[in-house]
Amino acid sequence: MPQRSAGALKEDQSERSREGRERTLLEWVGLLRDGKVALAVGVSLGILIGVAATFLQKTEYESQGSVVVSSAKGFLSPENADAYPAITDTTRRLLLTPGVLGPTASAYVASAKDSNTAASRRAEATLSWLRTHLTAKQVSISSIIDVTGTASNQEDATDLTQAATASLEKAVSSGGGTGGITVRVFSSGEAKGKVSPSPARNLLLGGNAGLLIGAIAALALGARRRVLRRPEQIARELGLPLVGWIRGRTRGGVNGYSGLAEVRARLQVGQLGRPPTVLLLTGLASSQAIARVAVDLVHSLLESGLRAVLVDADLATRAATSQLRLADAPGLAESLNGGGGERQALAPAVSGAATLGTVGLNVLPAGKPPGDPALALSGARLRETVDLLRDRYDFIVIAGPGLGRVAEVIPLLEQADSAVLVVPRGIEARRLGQARAIGDLRERFAGTLVVDHEG
């Protein structure tokens, strides 16, 4: 089996670091997809805030009028034309001064159609209220000023705007038209309708704000929960060759994988040594997925004319044993027990060939679950069992536990000539750290096998 040097591993790590700094557009989209929960929550919260703002906002109507600053000789007179923008800005500021707001309040109250309305306006038309309900805006650099008034109903908004434009005109004109400048009302107040609350605007603003916040949160969550969907990307992250990518299938009511013949051929030609060869299957996929890959791989080896045997070394889960319906058969656990002398202890390994006619392949089942699988696998009996199988078979395929039980995987790696890391497509990148926890034994891995379905 080819060995990977420390320099090669460092080069792989450097490549992964460069990828982290130089994400493509598709990778950014992938991060958003991985963090889509945060995106959905952000948008939903934004919309809810928009709905809440709609209910909390006061009802307001708007009216708009306009005045123009011009020469006393007429609007089109060029006299003092260069000074108009600055004078217009000064005039705009005058609207919110007490000298203009006082007369505005008086005119606003006086325009009421009945005594109740007049009393209500008199109570609310304070200087602070007027400053929050009246605005004056200069139109670009022209001498036109738009005056806007808002109130709880359209009639009040229109009367307020008309009172303000008239008071501004009168305040400037009462100064005697200093420098030949005067203010004339072009529009005293036109109804603009209801401006608050605005459900569409609130929902749009809330949704956009939620989208922005949600996108940021989704990118952060996606980076933390980055999902690897492409087999090449998984292999690159692990720093291991890609042995193959197989897809789940169901045949005769039995779940399995298609494409293992190509994987078997690739392992035989490019990765594994000359028979007899001990191949360990472990990884980050479920125990059931690892067992199904092992069973199908042994079938493929047998079909190619090789003598192959399956060893179920997942003594806790016994997934391959259960799949082959050999739960009551003695197996590896009894071989490792060592009771009754060497011949009796290794008898289950020898009798494995006898199951060929029963389940269609040679198999050493898991046997009775031991109290401590890691301890059982760490004894000398494991090596003796493997050596006995080497004398009888070309390929020994071991269905091992996942890397989540690394204490059980390490003794199996020590007995194996090579190993394949079985990884589900769509795995979170942070889970790959388990593959780095086995230290130098990681170099025993021939490559990565990606499975589409691990149920």
Residue 414 has pLDDT above 70, yes or no: yes
The 10s digit of each residue's pLDDT in 229-249 is 888 888 888 888 898 888 766
Residues 391 and 292 in one domain: yes
Chain length of the chain: 455
In what side-by-side order are the strands of the sheet with 254-258?
254-258, 242-251, 445-451, 418-424, 277-283, 395-399, 308-312, 362-364
Mean model confidence pLDDT for the chain: 82
Residues 441 and 347 in one domain: yes
Residues 187 and 229 in one domain: no
Look at residue 144 and give its three-state secondary structure: strand
Q: Give the CATH number for residue 77.
A: 3.30.70.1130
Look at residue 330 and give its three-state secondary structure: coil
Residues 154 and 267 in one domain: no
Quick one: pLDDT at residue 35? 81
Quick one: pLDDT at residue 54? 85
Beta bridge partners of 397: 279, 310
pLDDT category, 411, cuts 50, 70, 90? very high
Residue 433 to residue 427: CA distance in whole angstroms? 12
Residue 2, in any domain of the structure: no
Residue 241 to residue 238: CA distance in whole angstroms? 9
Residues 174 and 231 in one domain: no
Residues 330 and 420 in one domain: yes
Residue 239 gets the label, from left (phi > 0), alpha (psi -120 to 50) or beta, of left
Q: Give the CATH number for residue 276.
A: 3.40.50.300
Domain that holds residue 431: 225-451
State which of 134, 168, 191 marks the end of a domain.
Answer: 191
- Count: domains in the chain: 2
State the DSSP code for 271. Answer: I
Residue whose tokens read 């008239």? 166
The 10s digit of each residue's pLDDT in 291-342 is 999 999 998 888 888 889 999 999 999 999 999 988 888 889 988 886 444 5
The 10s digit of each residue's pLDDT in 64-79 is 999 998 765 555 455 5
Residue 27, in any domain of the structure: no
Structure tokens at 387: 């050596």
Beta bridge partners of 402: none
Strands (DSSP E) found in 35-154: 60-71, 134-138, 144-151
pLDDT category, 34, cuts 50, 70, 90? confident
Residue 424 to residue 442: CA distance in whole angstroms? 18
The 10s digit of each residue's pLDDT in 249-304 is 655 555 556 677 788 887 777 545 567 789 999 999 999 999 999 999 998 888 88
Residue 168 to residue 191: CA distance in whole angstroms? 19
Residue 46, in any domain of the structure: no
Answer yes or no: are the C-beta atoms of 369 and 250 closer than 8 Å.
no
Residues 170 and 287 in one domain: no
For residue 15, the Cα-to-chain-centroid distance in whole angstroms is 23
Lowest average pLDDT, out of 19-28, 216-225, 270-279, goes to 19-28
The 10s digit of each residue's pLDDT in 348-386 is 555 554 455 567 888 999 988 898 999 999 988 899 889
Residue 4 has pLDDT above 80, yes or no: no
Quick one: pLDDT at residue 222? 72
Residue 414 to residue 153: CA distance in whole angstroms? 85
Residues 65 and 179 in one domain: yes
Structure tokens at 244: 């193959």
Residue 31 has pLDDT above 50, yes or no: yes
Residue 69, in any domain of the structure: yes
Residue 332 to residue 313: CA distance in whole angstroms? 7
Quick one: pLDDT at residue 375? 93
Answer yes or no: are the C-beta atoms of 427 and 34 closer than 8 Å.
no
Residue 230, in any domain of the structure: yes
Residues 358 and 316 in one domain: yes
Residue 335, in any domain of the structure: yes
Using CA atoms of 147, 150, 151, 155 in order, give the dihedral in degrees to the nearest 10: 50
Quick one: pLDDT at residue 270? 57
Residue 48, in any domain of the structure: no
φ/ψ of residue 283, rounded to 5: 145, -155
Residues 132 and 273 in one domain: no
Residue 213, in any domain of the structure: no
CA contacts within 13 A on the Cβ side of 238: 34
The 10s digit of each residue's pLDDT in 158-208 is 999 999 999 999 988 775 544 567 888 989 899 999 998 888 888 898 889
Residues 161 and 260 in one domain: no
